[in-house]
Structure 1
Amino acid sequence: MGIERLQAWIYGTDDILTLHSFAAGLDWYWVLLAPVAGGLAVGLLLHWFTDDGRVRSVADVIEGAALTEGRVETKRGLVSALASLITLSSGGSTGREGPVVHIAAVISTYVARALKADGVTGRDLLGCAVAAAVSASFNAPIAGALFAMEVVLRHFAMHTFAPIVIASAAGTVINRLAYGGVTEFSLPAQNILEFYVELPAFLMLGLVSGVVAAVLMRAIFWTEDLGDAVQARAGLPRWVRPAAAGLLLGALAIPFPHVIGVGYETTSLALTGGLLLHEAVVFTVVKVAAVAITMGGRMGGGVFSPSLMVGALTGLAFGLMATAVFPDVSGEGTLYALAGMGAVAAAVLGAPISTTLIVFELTGDWQTGLAVMVSVSISTALASRLVSRSFFLTQLERRGVRLAAGPQAYLLGTFEVESVMRGMEAPRAAPEEACWAMIGEGTYLDRTATLEQAMPLFEKTNAVFIPVVKLGGGDRPPQLRGALFQVDALRAYNRALAATAAEEHS
Structure 2
Amino acid sequence: MSLQDQSNSNSVPEKIHALLLRLTPTERQRLLLVTIVSGGLCGLAAVSFHICIDKAEALLINRALAAPHLSWIYWTILTPALGSLFAGLALHYWVPGAVGSGVPQVKLAYALHSGYVSWRDAAGKFILGILQIGSGASLGREGPTVQICAGVSSLLARVTSLSRQNQRRMASIGVAAGIAAAFNAPIAAVTFTLEEIIGDLDQTMLSGVIVAAAIAAVVERGILGQHPVFQMQRAYSMGPASSLVSYAMLGVLSAIVSVIFTDSLLGLRGWFKRFTAVPKWVHPAMGGALTGALAVVGILWLKQDGITGGGYRTLSLALTGSLPAKVLIGLCLLKVAATVCSYSSGGVGGIFAPVLFMGGMLGGAVGYVDVAVLHHSADSIGAFALVGMGAVFAGSIRAPMTSVLIIFEMTGGYGLVLPLMVANMSAFALARHWRRVPVYEALLAQDGIHLPHGKPTAPEKSELELRGEVPP
> TM-score, normalised to structure 2's length?
0.80
Counterpart in the other structure of 2:219: 174
Q: 1:46, 1:80 within 8 Å by CA — same for their partners in 2?
A: no
Q: Which moved more, 1:201-210 or 1:108-117?
A: 108-117
Once the 2 structures are TM-superposed, how far is the Cα of residue 284 of structure 1 from its aligned partner? 0.7
Distance 1:51 1:300, change over 3 A: closer
Counterpart in the other structure of 1:164: 209
Does the alignment pair 1:387 with 2:445?
A: no
Once the 2 structures are TM-superposed, how far is the Cα of residue 69 of structure 1 from its aligned partner? 1.1
Counterpart in the other structure of 1:39: 84
What code does the residue aligned with 2:258 have?
A
Does the alignment pair 1:10 with 2:57?
A: no
Once the 2 structures are TM-superposed, how far is the Cα of residue 228 of structure 1 from its aligned partner? 2.2
Q: Secondary structure at the match of 2:201?
A: coil
What code does the residue aligned with 2:58 have?
A
For 1:30-179, list aligned pairs within 5 A.
Answer: 30-50=75-95, 54-55=99-100, 57-179=102-224
Q: Which has the larger radius of gyration?
A: 1
Counterpart in the other structure of 2:375: 327
The whole-number CA distance in structure 2 between the counterparts of 1:60 and 1:97 is: 14
Q: Secondary structure at the match of 2:140?
A: coil
The whole-number CA distance in structure 2 between the counterparts of 1:141 and 1:397 is: 30
Q: 1:11, 1:23 within 8 Å by CA — same for their partners in 2?
A: no
Cα deviation 1:312-338 (Å, max 9, x = unaligned): 111111111122101158971222111
What code does the residue aligned with 2:196 have?
V
The whole-number CA distance in structure 1 between the counterparts of 2:336 and 2:68 is: 20
Once the 2 structures are TM-superposed, how far is the Cα of residue 120 of structure 1 from its aligned partner? 2.7
Q: 1:139, 1:181 within 8 Å by CA — same for their partners in 2?
A: no
Question: Identity across aligned pairs (percent)?
Answer: 30
For 1:399-414, list aligned pairs within 5 A.
Answer: 399-403=447-451, 406-407=453-454
Once the 2 structures are TM-superposed, how far is the Cα of residue 25 of structure 1 from its aligned partner? 9.5
Does the alignment pair 1:185 with 2:230?
A: yes
The whole-number CA distance in structure 2 between the counterparts of 1:101 and 1:24 is: 40
State how many pairs are aligned. Answer: 405
The whole-number CA distance in structure 2 between the counterparts of 1:26 and 1:183 is: 36
Q: 1:20, 1:260 within 8 Å by CA — same for their partners in 2?
A: no
Does the alignment pair 1:302 with 2:344?
A: no
Cα deviation 1:115-166 (Å, max 9, x = unaligned): 3333431232112211111111111111112212221111221122222111
Counterpart in the other structure of 2:282: 240
Greater RCO (CA < 8 Å, at least 6 residues apart): 2
Among 280, 284, 305, the alignment partner of 2:328 is: 280
Counterpart in the other structure of 2:295: 253
Higher helix share: 2
Among 304, 314, 330, the alignment partner of 2:362 is: 314
Once the 2 structures are TM-superposed, how far is the Cα of residue 21 of structure 1 from its aligned partner? 8.1
Q: 1:269, 1:275 within 8 Å by CA — same for their partners in 2?
A: yes
Among 200, 208, 229, the alignment partner of 2:253 is: 208
Distance 1:4 1:74, change over 3 A: same
Counterpart in the other structure of 2:312: 264
For 1:389-468, list aligned pairs within 5 A.
Answer: 389-403=437-451, 406-407=453-454
Q: Secondary structure at the match of 1:64?
A: helix
The whole-number CA distance in structure 1 between the counterparts of 2:167 and 2:331 is: 42
The whole-number CA distance in structure 2 between the counterparts of 1:366 and 1:276 is: 25
Where structure 2 has 5 or more consecutive residues not aligned to the other structure, the ranges are 1-50, 299-304, 462-472
The whole-number CA distance in structure 2 between the counterparts of 1:205 and 1:97 is: 25
The whole-number CA distance in structure 2 between the counterparts of 1:293 and 1:326 is: 37
The whole-number CA distance in structure 1 between the counterparts of 2:433 and 2:446 is: 16
Once the 2 structures are TM-superposed, how far is the Cα of residue 48 of structure 1 from its aligned partner? 0.8
The whole-number CA distance in structure 1 between the counterparts of 2:404 and 2:71 is: 37
> TM-score, normalised to structure 1's length?
0.75
Q: Secondary structure at the match of 1:255?
A: helix
Counterpart in the other structure of 2:43: none
Distance 1:172 1:200, change over 3 A: same
Q: Secondary structure at the match of 1:191?
A: coil
Q: Which moved more, 1:339-348 or 1:388-397?
A: 388-397
Q: 2:172, 2:198 within 8 Å by CA — same for their partners in 1?
A: yes
Q: Secondary structure at the match of 2:394?
A: helix
Q: 1:191, 1:335 within 8 Å by CA — same for their partners in 2?
A: yes
The whole-number CA distance in structure 2 between the counterparts of 1:24 and 1:298 is: 32
Cα deviation 1:434-491 (Å, max 9, x = unaligned): xxxxxxxxxxxxxxxxxxxxxxxxxxxxxxxxxxxxxxxxxxxxxxxxxxxxxxxxxx
What code does the residue aligned with 1:59 have?
P
Q: 2:180, 2:186 within 8 Å by CA — same for their partners in 1?
A: yes
Once the 2 structures are TM-superposed, how far is the Cα of residue 34 of structure 1 from its aligned partner? 0.8
The whole-number CA distance in structure 2 between the counterparts of 1:319 and 1:24 is: 36
Q: RMSD of the alignment, in Å?
A: 2.5
